[in-house]
Chains A and B, each alone.
Chain A
């Protein structure tokens, strides 16, 4: 084990800003990318579902108007 206390762990031997700036931004970037990809998929799916529902409705109306 390299660290005798939590404070020592976060200080990173004086390089805290650089080490945590690297790991922190990397973690945030990967997380944000995953959330954006999730949103993109959900948005596309919602749009397509709406499109399909509208199509079905139009078809039903068309069918019911026939004698």
Chain B
């Protein structure tokens, strides 16, 4: 049985994150190479959208990650509020910039896809608007937590934003069902067969895995900087090999 609470201490999580992130970075690179290969050289041309559809290979994975990272932040927020663990707030803070980036990329690639296919960079439909709100939630979290000097209080305030904002995630996901949107419905779902060619699906899943591994690597890397920033007076920091002359 692993004692999970042992790793809730920044002193033991810092070296663990240092050991783990290169592996996730390597996995991200491998999945990305395979995913890009399929995206451009294996997946066939779409009969309706020609080569323009290839944006799907980053648009859908980026959108998934933007929603998933917010859920993970909400998870850490709940853990932090329940157990009062310091590391939880640091994890949320480490995830937020990456989540914001994926939300931005989802909107950006969506605009570049919408222009040639719909004739508009942007429409105020439920899917696009709720994703834009998700982007603003990330920015709000970052702005709020960096405006509060005391990190523990910043974590508490940020946790409230993360937990309240998470209701937006199912709204984004089901928006194409609940409302009549210009945005198309889900191409992949758990309940029915995907409505796309197998090679297209593989390209999308590999790119999603690449983004996922990238996010894990990035948050583990960033949380180490956050730990050092916050724990700089702790004795164990002074003992670290990278702190010696």
- A contacts, CB < 8 Å to B: 1-3, 9, 12-15, 17-19, 21-23, 25-26, 29-30, 33-34, 37-38, 40-41, 44-45, 48-49, 51-53, 55
Is B113 within 8 A of A18, CB to CB? Answer: yes
Given known A-B contacts A25-B105, A37-B221, A53 and B116 have beta carbons under 8 A apart: no
Is A53 within 8 A of B245, CB to CB? Answer: yes
Q: For residue A25, which residue of chain B has the nearest CB?
A: B108
Q: What are the residues of chain A within 8 A of B54 when measuring CB–CB?
A: 12, 15, 19
Complex interface residues of chain B between 93 and 129 (CB less than 8 A to chain A): 97-98, 101, 104-105, 108-109, 112-113, 115-116
Q: Give me the 6 closest cross-chain CB pairs, A-B, nearest first.
A: A15-B52, A13-B51, A22-B109, A41-B225, A12-B51, A13-B50
Q: What are the residues of chain B within 8 A of A18 when measuring CB–CB?
A: 52, 55, 112-113, 115-116
Chain A: minimal CB distance from B99 (Å) = 11
Number of chain B residues close to chain A: CB under 8 A: 37
Per DSSP, chain B at the interface is helix
Cβ-based interface call for B212 (8 A) = no
Given known A-B contacts A2-B45, A13-B51, A22-B109, A37 and B225 have beta carbons under 8 A apart: yes
Is B228 within 8 A of A2, CB to CB? Answer: no
Per DSSP, chain A at the interface is helix
Complex interface residues of chain B between 208 and 245 (CB less than 8 A to chain A): 214, 218, 221-222, 224-225, 228-229, 232, 237-238, 242-243, 245
Cβ-based interface call for B40 (8 A) = yes
Given known A-B contacts A19-B52, A30-B214, A45-B242, A13 and B221 have beta carbons under 8 A apart: no
Chain A: minimal CB distance from B28 (Å) = 9
Is B232 within 8 A of A48, CB to CB? Answer: yes
Given known A-B contacts A14-B50, A37-B225, A48-B243, A9 and B40 have beta carbons under 8 A apart: yes
Q: What are the residues of chain A within 8 A of B51 when measuring CB–CB?
A: 12-15, 19
Given known A-B contacts A12-B51, A44-B228, A52-B243, A26 and B105 have beta carbons under 8 A apart: yes
Q: What are the residues of chain B within 8 A of A51 when measuring CB–CB?
A: 232
Is B238 within 8 A of A26, CB to CB? Answer: no
Given known A-B contacts A12-B51, A15-B116, A26-B62, A40 and B225 have beta carbons under 8 A apart: yes
Is A1 within 8 A of B41, CB to CB? Answer: yes
Cβ-based interface call for B91 (8 A) = no
Once bound together, how far apart are the Cα atoms of A51 and B232, in whole Å? 9
Q: Mark B27-64, 1 if CB is under 8 A from A, else 0.
A: 00000000000001100110000111011001100100
Q: For residue A18, which residue of chain B has the nearest CB?
A: B112
Q: For residue B221, which residue of chain A has the nearest CB?
A: A37
Once bound together, how far apart are the Cα atoms of A45 and B245, in whole Å? 12
Given known A-B contacts A22-B59, A44-B228, A37 and B222 have beta carbons under 8 A apart: yes
